[in-house]
Amino acid sequence: MTIPATEAGGGGRGGRPPTNDAPLSPAQRSKIRRLAQPREAEPGDEAGELNIIPYLDIITNVLVFVLASVTVTFLTQLNTTPPSSGGKGVKNAIDTEALNLAAIIVDEGVSFKTSFGNIAPGCGDEGGQVRIGKGITIPNRGGKFEYDLEGIKRCARALKTIEDGKFEAETQVAVTASRNIEYRYLIQVLDALRSDKDGDRTIDLFPEFQLAVSK
């Protein structure tokens, strides 16, 4: 008796059963291709990726503009003591045995006053002795507000040497300015009173300021 091949070995090579898959129709192929294509985003849907390049360009331009507009400013600190209520703060700090230097800034120059009197004009010019007398100690070099800063430094150094250097350790000065003196001129005078140069060496003059109120 002969057994058909489909019953003996499963009908195919390797014992696999025969397949009955029918070929796809053109309509089915078209539908599969349509479903396999990526769907475009609907209006209002979130995009898959965020393009940040325009934002980086904006930030870079802003940073360049900010850096280009930055101004470098060098600051110098001046330690001062503000006047107290009623103007009594400076007087309370004065020692009767000290030099008690006071600088009065007016339109025409700077006057120096000490515990032993007002310093005469010139303040010992050309190596002369510091004298007591009336007048503006360091007159302006030229016009109004053109203060003789070198003359102020020289006079401050001379005051430290009087009476055989008795007041060499003095560091305080009370500063009073007229009401119409601009802030920049006040700072120039304070800086001249603070220190001086001796070659490459810096000499402290009167670096401690006490601001007084003019009456």
pLDDT, tens digit, for every residue of 148-191?
Answer: 999 999 999 888 888 888 888 888 999 999 888 888 999 999 99
Q: Has residue 9 got a pLDDT over 70? A: no
Q: What percent of the chain has pLDDT over 90?
A: 19
Q: Has residue 91 got a pLDDT over 50? A: no
pTM over 0.75: no
Q: What percent of the chain has pLDDT over 70?
A: 69
pLDDT at 206: 92
pLDDT at 7: 47
Considering all CA atoms of the chain, what is the largest pairwise distance in Å, rounded to the nearest integer?
155
Buried b (16+ CB within 10 A) or exposed e, 157-192: ebbbebeeeebeebebbbbbbeeebeeebbebbbeb
Region of poorest pLDDT, from 32-36, 103-107, 132-136: 32-36
Which helix H or strand E contains 57, and what residues bound it?
Answer: helix 53-69
End-to-end Cα, the chain, rounded Å = 143
- Listed in sequence order, the residues at least 6 apart from 153 whose beta carbon sits closer than 8 Å to its beta carbon are 192, 193, 196, 205
pLDDT at 8: 47
Q: pLDDT digits over 106-146, tens only?
A: 999 999 999 888 999 988 665 557 888 888 999 998 877 88
What is the sign of the dihedral through the CA atoms of 124, 136, 201 and 205?
Answer: positive
pLDDT at 189: 92
pLDDT at 69: 81
Region of poorest pLDDT, from 26-35, 37-46, 51-60: 37-46
pLDDT at 45: 56
As a dihedral over the C-alpha atoms of residue 199, residue 203, residue 207, residue 212, rounded to 10 degrees, the angle is -80
Task: Give the Cα separation of 82 and 22 in Å (integer).
Answer: 104
